[in-house]
Structure 1
Amino acid sequence: MFFIRRFILPVGQGAFYVERINDINIVYDCGSTDNQAKIPSLIKECFARKKTIEAVFISHLDKDHINGVEELLKNCEVKRICFPLITEEMKKVLEIKIMFEEAMGNRYSQFTKEFIENPEETVKKIIKDKEIELIEILPDDWDKKNDNKIDKNDNKIDKEIIKNSKIKRYREKSGENIAKKIKDLNGWELIPYNFRQEIRINELKENLEKEFKEEIHLEKVEEIWKEGGEKKAKIKRAYIGVSGDLNTNSMTLFLGIREDKKEISLEKAEEVSKNNEDSEKKETDYNDCYIKKGCLYTGDYDANGKQKWEKLEKAYQEYWKWIGFIQVPHHGSSKNCNDNLISKNAVYFLSAGRNNGYKHPSKDVVHDITLKYGNNLYIVTEDKGLEVILDSKIKIYNIFSSFSKTIENNQGDRLEIYIKALYLRLNL
């Protein structure tokens, strides 16, 4: 039997999500725009010193999703990091983004900048001679033709694997089950999809061409920026003119287990029935809880518009009926949401800074999730986190202001007895 604790940690404008399946730890994103200093203490509270984390999934390489990964590597035994494929174009776009944002006073950590440039060397500095897998997830529309034009890193990767024999860097297709690599996670699935987000990149290219009256290659932008004056002003106007965040990719993740109602044993069904007055209603509740332990993490995926929603829907077409929890994309931005996504029969959550300058989450998104579609929504800020406890029979939500006030971090019998007692109290 699996026992799950799901933590939406209070980092403000960022994302830090932990799944603890029995004693197996999975992390999706770890970063914050305005509360990065809080991340080390959260990591120490959430994980015992040198605790194993089987997989860290990075949705994309924005600072508010990655700048805490360095602390995870320093304090925990991270077995593998999964992130979107880093192409040469992706590097150039991210370098432009960092250059512009730092000029506006928004600092990026050295770790983030170095990881974008060279993940192996960056990780090696921290973990020294320990083993780790760096898994790049190919875009969802990747095919063999792309292998010839991927980038100059192709041969470099092979050389660095030989040079750093304990750091294994390789690629997996979108939709592959990463859980197969993790011992004792049989039956569970970790399904990442790396979606290219080229619309805004193309928009930047078009804006640059309009400003300079000629095509400007991305690799030349930094050099032109350094010339200053009117040329720098043109680049600034082109960048500001992009409608939305300049993300190159966003990697989503399904984490869960596919279970059919018919697979519930007679013994379990009788046990539930015996403990409930309204057996028919309660058994339905039990079954719903049983098959909907799955969570869909969306990062900053842009689900706005029919075509982009259909890509996401198709990617997880086999999983929707097992998804009971959904992260609202991009901190609740209306530019990334779609009615089809926020109207599912699920519990929704998002992370956003209490007074963030982006006005996240959108009032319209909050209204539609909670009032238009009648779903539960948890907005996690820097003040309060959310802990969700799940097993085959129970579902408990615990909002906490201090991690030390969560249920005792112990997967033994005492915790199981405590939860059963709490569950009985909640139903009296």
Structure 2
Amino acid sequence: MGLMSECGFLEYKVQFHSVGQGLFSTGEIDWKGESFRFLYDCGTSSKRVFLNDQISKIHIKTIDLAVISHFDSDHTNGLEELLKKVEIKVLLLPYMALDQRLYAAMSKGLSSSSDKMKFYLDPCKYLNNKFPGKIKNIVFVTSDRGSQPNAIETDDFSFDPINVLGKVNKVGGYSNVFQISDSDKLMLEEIFEFITYNDESLSANKNKSFSNAVEKEMSVLLDGTARTVEGSLKKIKAVYDRTFGSSGENRNIISLFLYCSPIDKIDNFIVHQSASNYESRLSKGDKKSGILFTGDGSLSTKEQLQGLFDGIGEARLANLACLQVMHHGAQNNWHKGVAGKLQPAVSVFSSDPKRKKPGHPSAEVVKDFLPFSPYQVDKEYDLVLEFNNYIELLSRELYDMKHVF
């Protein structure tokens, strides 16, 4: 792995891929000759050719940790193509109750017979049946707001899921499905940490009649035949239409945040943007090393922002080298001044600004982040962040910008 690994120093890099309106990010950590690879979201609502092109450049067989922020297609629809090439050791998903999942599915207009509806009904069954043997462990993350993370440690840098997940309960009768709290952090030895944050207060407002309708049909929905399931979904859809209206907006904005960082401070932090052949080296004095992925999460109120600070910790958020701006820079997921509270060294907007709808990123959001080195990632531009603790590495020839893996 070069000078870094030979000397026992840490190096890691993260790429935001050029997929248009969506999000696909990959990362790699190198330490003592070993590599740990992770992923956050894999989807787009732009032409699939952009996403498929980026997936085609992945030349590994295993991803150690994959995190899906939420179930929208522009964050998930590349999973099938990805799993043709790799297996995933641990897949983290946000916990959502069945009524929340069905609310989200119906607000998107999914038909009862669609393949996507099967995913919303029972994600574990869907993933295990559709990709047999390709996802070793599925882990749902529940919310424990306000609690500082407690370490789930492993002595194996390769992130042995047996060591990590043996302390949590299996759920749903599946041998490979587990549940943890977002107050649990996943650590690689004592050198690197991953911390999730699932703000369940952002879930769809509970509606008693809708939740009761789902509960009444639950046994059929999870264990019935295709015909009886479709009949139950029609009954629930009728309640949905009466309660929310056939054109009701999706208010379910649960999105699993992910903070990742080395434990020790980083000496060097370089930003590359490939399409413009632009390279900048941030000040060595910054020494920031944390990355916060937000998916389509919301920080639209001071209370939501405070919940994030309580859940992840002020010291970690003060260490933000990079923030993936919430929901592609949507104005509804932001409030004025949030950028100044987080103060990332770099802010990333993963969207397609040339599309009139949905109009991401918002000019107001971009303006708020102007002091914090905003970068646009879209169909043309990607972004690579490289961190290391060995200054001589900066003189080596730049690695291939086509992919991280």
Check conservation: 2:63, 2:87, Cα contact below 8 A: yes
- What amino acid maps onto 2:103 in structure 1? V
Instruction: Kindly indicate whether residue 124 of structure 2 is the aligned counterpart of residue 128 of structure 1.
Output: no
Q: Give the whole-Å Cα distance in 1 for the aligned partners of 2:233 and 2:122.
A: 19
Q: Give the whole-Å Cα distance in 2 for the aligned partners of 1:13 and 1:218.
A: 35
CA 1:76 to 1:388, structure 2 compared with 1: closer, same or farther past 3 Å?
same
Give SS of 1:179's match.
Answer: strand
Return the structure number with greater relative CO, CA threshold 8 A, min gap 6.
2
Give SS of 1:75's match.
Answer: coil
In the other structure, the counterpart of 1:331 is 328
Spell out the pairing of 1:21-420 with structure 2 (5 A cutoff): 21-22=29-30, 23-45=35-57, 47-48=58-59, 50-98=60-108, 100=109, 102=110, 110=115, 112-129=116-133, 132-141=136-145, 157-161=171-175, 168-180=176-188, 186-198=190-202, 200-202=204-206, 205=207, 217=212, 219=214, 222-223=233-234, 237=245, 239-240=247-248, 242=249, 245-260=250-265, 285-288=283-286, 291-317=287-313, 318-343=315-340, 344-353=343-352, 354-370=354-370, 374-392=371-389, 417-419=396-398
Q: Give the whole-Å Cα distance in 2 for the aligned partners of 1:246 and 1:326.
A: 24
Check conservation: 1:67, 1:109, Cα contact below 8 A: no
Q: Give the whole-Å Cα distance in 2 for the aligned partners of 1:66 and 1:255.
A: 21
| CA shift for structure 1 position 175 | 2.8
- What amino acid maps onto 1:68 in structure 2? G
CA 1:72 to 1:142, structure 2 compared with 1: closer, same or farther past 3 Å?
farther
CA 1:142 to 1:323, structure 2 compared with 1: closer, same or farther past 3 Å?
closer
Q: Give the whole-Å Cα distance in 2 for the aligned partners of 1:42 and 1:121.
A: 28
Which is further off, 85-94 or 126-135?
126-135
Output the TM-score relative to the length of structure 2: 0.72
Check conservation: 1:16, 1:29, Cα contact below 8 A: yes
CA 1:217 to 1:121, structure 2 compared with 1: closer, same or farther past 3 Å?
closer
Spell out the pairing of 1:3-18 with structure 2 (5 A cutoff): 3-18=11-26
Check conservation: 2:22, 2:350, Cα contact below 8 A: yes
Give unpaired runs (5+ residues) of structure 2: 1-8, 148-168, 218-231, 269-281, 400-405
In the other structure, the counterpart of 2:5 is none
CA 1:356 to 1:171, structure 2 compared with 1: closer, same or farther past 3 Å?
farther
Greater fraction strand: 2
- What amino acid maps onto 1:417 in structure 2? R
Give SS of 1:171's match.
Answer: strand
Give SS of 1:159's match.
Answer: coil
- What amino acid maps onto 1:357 in structure 2? K
| CA shift for structure 1 position 55 | 0.6
Check conservation: 1:74, 1:126, Cα contact below 8 A: no
In the other structure, the counterpart of 1:407 is none
Report percent identity of matched pairs.
22
| CA shift for structure 1 position 287 | 3.9
Q: Over aligned residue pairs, what C-alpha RMSD do you find?
A: 3.5
Greater fraction helix: 1
What do the CA deviations read for 1:55-105 (whole angstroms, capped 9, x no partner)?
Answer: 11011111111111222222112111001113222222123223x2x47xx
Give unpaired runs (5+ residues) of structure 1: 144-154, 162-167, 269-283, 395-412, 421-428
Check conservation: 1:177, 1:191, Cα contact below 8 A: yes
Larger Rg: 1
Output the TM-score relative to the length of structure 1: 0.68
Check conservation: 2:37, 2:65, Cα contact below 8 A: yes
Check conservation: 1:251, 1:301, Cα contact below 8 A: yes
CA 1:95 to 1:285, structure 2 compared with 1: closer, same or farther past 3 Å?
closer
What do the CA deviations read for 1:286-335 (whole angstroms, capped 9, x no partner)?
Answer: 242xx312101111111111111110121122412221100110110111
In the other structure, the counterpart of 1:425 is none
Q: Give the whole-Å Cα distance in 2 for the aligned partners of 1:253 and 1:216.
A: 29
CA 1:323 to 1:198, structure 2 compared with 1: closer, same or farther past 3 Å?
closer
Check conservation: 1:16, 1:30, Cα contact below 8 A: yes
CA 1:7 to 1:381, structure 2 compared with 1: closer, same or farther past 3 Å?
same
| CA shift for structure 1 position 224 | 5.2
